[in-house]
Amino acid sequence: AQSVSQHNHHVILSEAASLELGCNYSYGGTVNLFWYVQYPGQHLQLLLKYFSGDPLVKGIKGFEAEFIKSKFSFNLRKPSVQWSDTAEYFCAVEPDNAGNMLTFGGGTRLMVKP
Amino acid sequence: DVKVTQSSRYLVKRTGEKVFLECVQDMDHENMFWYRQDPGLGLRLIYFSYDVKMKEKGDIPEGYSVSREKKERFSLILESASTNQTSMYLCASSPLAGAGTGELFFGEGSRLTVL
């Protein structure tokens, strides 16, 4: 079975700092990759996804992620964070043709200080 | 916009009680899911359903059952609640695999406390 590791459980940054959240997965086959975000008091929502093609994908609110197949990684980045980015971020993996069966990482809580 | 509605945001139950968590989606999605969310563990899949009256076990089905009598409604049942089932429960839906974007649409969650 596949697994997903998010190495940073808590991250605290000041506004305008750059962000990189790590995500590694274990699965030998083709995968679809996702980052979801949960803002305080809100439901989980999709930030960005990778299915195929360009390994650098751009999502909402200035976020991007890069799929590095050789490293089984899908790290999330943002050049300059804002206070409104304070949230919990979840990486998720879906083996191709698994019918939306996602495996989630443990999440990273990001706090951005104004 | 897709809307996934979970009937109860907060519940407090006693050990041994039967608990029903209801979830309704309004986008005619085939797939529906129940996850539990615990700090540091992320989301873990309890059960999912890809059609009416169909259900499949996820990663942690023990102590839970589900019911899907109508396409739009997916219920999670705790037959005899225990303290280790204190958690946030998230319902999600998605269109048929291959027909959609792979995106899951989540409800706002039901926070269950078992005393």
DSSP A52-102: SS-SEEE-GGG-EEEEEGGGTEEEEEESS--GGG-EEEEEEEEETTSSS--
The arithmetic mean of pLDDT across residues B17-25, rounded, is 97
pLDDT bracket for residue B111 (50, 70, 90):
very high
- The residue that leads in pLDDT, B73 or A28, is B73
Which of A89, A100, A103 best probes binding to B when mutated, by most B CB atoms within 10 angstroms? A100
Which pair of structure tokens corresponds to residue A55? 């390994």
Residue A62 class from Cβ within 10 Å (0-12 exposed, 13-18 middle, 19+ buried)?
Answer: middle
Percent of chain B residues topping a pLDDT of 90: 77
pLDDT bracket for residue B97 (50, 70, 90):
low
Does B84 reach chain A within 8 Å, measured CB to CB? no
User: At residue B99, does pLDDT exceed 80?
Assistant: no
> Measuring CA to CA, how many Å separate B102 from each of A78, B20, B74, B85?
23, 28, 19, 29
**Cβ <8 Å between B102 and A94:** yes
CA of B87 vs chain A CAs: smallest distance (Å):
15
Residue A12's contacts (CB-CB under 8 Å, 6 or more residues apart) are A110, A111, A112, A113
pLDDT given at position A95: 83
Question: Which of A:66-85 have CB within 8 Å of B?
Answer: none
Does A13 reach chain B within 8 Å, measured CB to CB? no
**A49-101: per-residue pLDDT in tens?**
998 899 999 999 999 999 999 999 999 999 999 999 999 999 999 887 666 78
- Distance CA(A85)–CA(A108), nearest Å, equals 12
